[in-house]
Amino acid sequence: MPGTRGPVPVPVQANGTNDLTLDILCTLDTQEPFHTAETFPQISQGEIKAALDRLASRGMVEYNTNVAEQVILTEEGQQICDEGSHEWKVWEAVKSKGRIHIKDLDRIVGPSAKVGQGNAFKLKWIKKDGDALTPVANEVTDSTRDLLRHVSENNTFPDPKQLKDYQKRKLVTSRKVITYTVRKGPRWALEIPVEVTDLTAEMLQDGSWQTANFKPYNFKALGEHQYAGALHPLNKVREEFRKIFFSQSFIEMPTARFVDSGFWNFDTLFVPQQHPARDLQDTFYVSDPKEAGPPGPDPAADKALDEMEADSQMYQGDKTSTKLDYQKYYDNVKAVHQDGAFGSIGYRYPYTDSETTRLVLRTHTTAVSAYCLHRLAANPRPCRYFSIDRVFRNETVDATHLAEFHQIEGVIADYGLTLGGLMDFLGKFFNKLGITNLRFKPAYNPYTEPSMEVFGYHEGLGKWVEIGNSGMFRPEMLLAMGLPEDLRCYGFGLSLERPTMIKYGVSNIRELLGHKVDLNFIESNAAVRLEKE
Ligand SMILES: N[C@@H](Cc1ccccc1)C(=O)O
């Protein structure tokens, strides 16, 4: 309820409690400045800093941070400090016995015997007499022990030149110590005052706002975590691909039609009507409605294409267009399948019209490419199309396959294109993604000839991985559409999931799509850059 919440008081604690902030205030009352190392040697630096910050944020104290290196004893150093150096122990034993047999030294002096004996020789404290040791000096100064005692008392090392040597011998080590020098601040007081955090209607009415002690804003405070929306990794990688396509004058094909007819998905691409890919096992058929009408223009797709072409540099120029005849196109496709036409001998089987109108979840975005290429026959000219969207296959789901995935597809139509040109284009395209080493393997697609699978050398995996499929669309496909004889056409396709999984180090596709996805992963994953600088 706004207006009813009063100021939130910070409790005032009476002196005499063991609250560190109060101890600091009391100390400062009698001693200014004071050093925390001297006053609170037992309290951890973290606790001291928290208490000082609490007071400093209210302007009650000010403090400086001092960083110092301290020299401290190691366990062995402490032992020497307590019992004497190794050489002193050897000398002391030899002196008190007058003479010690070398082989008895270990037993008498203990583990320091070996090092101690050598040092005591060097210092001329003892000497060898046959198999025995005898004392040389009557009085010795154990300077090692004296030095370590100094370190123990002062946490400093008197001779910086010797320090390295003592560190190497693992007798002393150093540590960083942070201490604070504390002074009174501009709003010094012995008690933590009540600070008002809200200006209320009551305070305005009764005038108490004039004398209230407002808590200052802390502009250094970290903001609260904001739960905002986040782009899915697939969307991020998709955006990167789109940028690459747009930078090369491609326009985006309208791919909103997830459900398409057998005609566009299969027949236009010369997938034979008995082909296993058209089986229920491989393709999802739609049961309601089951049937599409005869092939015809898709007004929404045409509008989108018109708009994009109007925006694109590449499609300016001759706009004369012939009216598209979808019935004629249908008849041409049927003729190629059934009897052969346009230089093709055809499959020579009886063509079933009802197969062409069956509705399917599209199995590839090449269905859309076929629609766009046929539309191009109205005004044939060089053009570049791409799409990145969802396709569906009735596949067994495993770590790298789902029944739906995204295809990236590119189509380039131009006069005088050659296979070498396609290889060159793909080389440059994948180079932009950081894949510099490509191999092409002859493959088969019913709609392209020649066809090539594209392999890239994956540096991280250390092996060749298939990255795409490509080819030159068959002349009988393009001629049946009404495109001119010398207009050739490249096509290529790859999955969006594979490069995304590689970029984000995801090994199971179910971590990327579906109900097992970790939303934290989606929210916190970094942006990607596919293109090399
Ligand atoms: N449609 C092919 C990709 C492709 C597109 C265009 C030409 C050649 C191949 C696939 O599913 O993998």
Give pLDDT, residue 317.
58
Query: How many angstroms does the Cα of residue 388 sit away from the middle of ligand 1?
Result: 12
- Positive or negative, the CA dihedral 158, 163, 165, 166 is positive
Shortest-distance Cα residue to atom 2 of ligand 1: 493
Alpha-carbon gap, residue 301 to 372, rounded angstroms: 9
Give pLDDT, residue 13.
44
Helix (H) / strand (E) element for 40: namely none
Q: Cα angle vertex 279, ends 277, 283, to 5°?
A: 75
Report, in angstroms and rounded to the nearest whole number, the Rg of the chain calculated over CA atoms. 42
What's the mean pLDDT in 205-216?
90
- Give me the interface pTM, i.e. the ipTM: 0.96
What atom in ligand 1 is closest to the CA of residue 369? Answer: 6
What's the mean pLDDT in 310-335?
84
Flag whether pLDDT at 7 surpasses 50.
no
What's the mean pLDDT in 259-272?
97
Query: How many angstroms does the Cα of residue 533 sit away from the middle of ligand 1?
Result: 29
State which of 387, 492, 496, 497 you would mutate to test the pocket of ligand 1, scoring each by most atoms of that ligand within 8 A of its C-beta. 492
Note whether 250 and 386 are within 8 A (CB): yes
Phi, psi for residue 106 in degrees, rounded to 5: -55, -45
Model confidence at 316, in pLDDT bands (50, 70, 90)?
low
Top-confidence residue, 158 or 206: 206
Question: Using a 6 Å cutoff on CB, does residue 273 contact ligand 1?
Answer: no
pLDDT tens, residue by residue, 22-46: 899 999 999 999 999 888 888 899 9
**Lowest mean pLDDT segment, chosen from 100-104, 374-378, 482-486:** 100-104
Q: Which residue has the tokens 């998709």?
A: 238
Question: Using a 6 Å cutoff on CB, does residue 117 contact ligand 1?
Answer: no
Give pLDDT, residue 6.
39
This prediction has a pTM of: 0.63
Note whether 443 and 469 are within 8 A (CB): yes
What's the mean pLDDT in 222-237?
86
For 74-97, b where at least 16 C-beta lie within 10 A, e where not — what string? beebbbbbeebbbbbbbbbbbbee
Flag whether pLDDT at 245 surpasses 50.
yes
pLDDT tens, residue by residue, 363-399: 999 999 999 999 999 999 999 999 999 999 998 888 8
Q: Which residue has the tokens 């004058």?
A: 249
Domain extents in the chain: 233-524
Give pLDDT, residue 1.
37
Q: Cα angle vertex 28, ends 27, 31, to 5°?
A: 85
Model confidence at 335, in pLDDT bands (50, 70, 90)?
very high
Model confidence at 285, in pLDDT bands (50, 70, 90)?
very high
Helix (H) / strand (E) element for 429: namely helix 419-432
Give pLDDT, residue 503.
77
Question: Using a 6 Å cutoff on CB, does residue 495 contact ligand 1?
Answer: no
Q: Which residue has the tokens 């590839």?
A: 364
Model confidence at 533, in pLDDT bands (50, 70, 90)?
very low
Flag whether pLDDT at 12 surpasses 50.
no
Give pLDDT, residue 395.
86
Model confidence at 2, in pLDDT bands (50, 70, 90)?
very low
CATH topology classification for 233-524: BirA Bifunctional Protein; domain 2 (3.30.930)
Flag whether pLDDT at 307 surpasses 80.
yes
For 480-515, b where at least 16 C-beta lie within 10 A, e where not — what string? bbbbeeebbbbbbbbbbbbbbbbbbebeebebbbee
Two tokens at 155? 């946490």
Torsional class of 346: left (φ above 0), alpha (ψ -120 to 50), beta (otherwise): left
State which of 250, 469, 473 you would mutate to test the pocket of ligand 1, scoring each by most atoms of that ligand within 8 A of its C-beta. 469
pLDDT tens, residue by residue, 443-472: 999 999 999 999 988 776 778 888 899 999
Alpha-carbon gap, residue 487 to 380, rounded angstroms: 8
Would you tell me how many other CB atoms lie within 10 Å of the CB of residue 126? 24
What's the mean pLDDT in 426-437?
86
* Residues listed for the chain: 533
Question: Using a 6 Å cutoff on CB, does residue 266 contact ligand 1?
Answer: no
Flag whether pLDDT at 4 surpasses 60.
no
Alpha-carbon gap, residue 108 to 119, rounded angstroms: 17
Question: Using a 6 Å cutoff on CB, does residue 445 contact ligand 1?
Answer: yes
What is the percentage of the chain residues whose pLDDT exceeds 90? 62
Give pLDDT, residue 532.
56
Give pLDDT, residue 512.
87
Shortest-distance Cα residue to atom 11 of ligand 1: 364
Top-confidence residue, 508 or 354: 354
Alpha-carbon gap, residue 37 to 55, rounded angstroms: 18
Give pLDDT, residue 520.
84
What atom in ligand 1 is closest to the CA of residue 469? Answer: 9
pLDDT tens, residue by residue, 404-414: 999 999 999 99
What's the mean pLDDT in 274-300?
92
Which residues neighbour 161 within 8 Å (Cβ) at sequence distance 6 or greater? none
What's the mean pLDDT in 88-106?
91
Flag whether pLDDT at 18 surpasses 60.
no
Query: How many angstroms does the Cα of residue 325 sit away from the middle of ligand 1?
Result: 26
Looking at beta carbons, which pairs linking 462-469 to residues 24 or more positions away fall under 8 Å? 464/439, 465/498, 467/430, 467/435, 467/494, 467/498, 467/499, 468/426, 468/492, 468/493, 468/494, 469/443, 469/445, 469/493, 469/494
Average pLDDT, the chain: 89
Query: How many angstroms does the Cα of residue 28 sit away from the middle of ligand 1?
Result: 79
**Lowest mean pLDDT segment, chosen from 11-15, 17-21, 244-248, 433-437:** 11-15
Shortest-distance Cα residue to atom 10 of ligand 1: 493
What's the mean pLDDT in 512-531?
80
